[in-house]
Amino acid sequence: MRVIKIFGPGCLKCETLYENVVKALEELKMEAQIEHIKDLKQMALYGVFKTPALWVDGSLVSQGKVLSVDEIKQILTT
């Protein structure tokens, strides 16, 4: 099972990224463990300095951008 972490303090962009991840997973019929991390200290431990950020299976794949559903699907299938 994939492990996905979304980093952001709860702003609109962060929530949109979370929703896009959920939608991408649904469209791909893929299961994943999703965690939304809002704590700034924890973000720093993962090397996140711009939000929203997306972490997939141990790698930081995006930060400072709201990825579209299609962009997320591409990340999850490669």
Catalytic pick from 3, 11, 30, 40? 11
Write the pLDDT tens digit of every residue in 47-60. Answer: 999 999 999 999 99
Judge whether 11 counts as a catalytic residue.
yes
Judge whether 38 counts as a catalytic residue.
no
Lowest mean pLDDT among 19-23, 24-28, 44-48: 44-48
Catalytic pick from 4, 6, 14, 37? 14
- Of all residues in the chain, the percent with pLDDT exceeding 70 is 100
Q: What's 68's domain CATH number?
A: 3.40.30.10
> Does the predicted TM-score (pTM) go above 0.85?
yes
The count of domains in the chain is 1
User: ∠ at Cα 66 (63, 58), nearest 5°?
Assistant: 40
Distance CA(6)–CA(46), nearest Å, equals 11
Residue 21: give the domain boundaries.
2-77
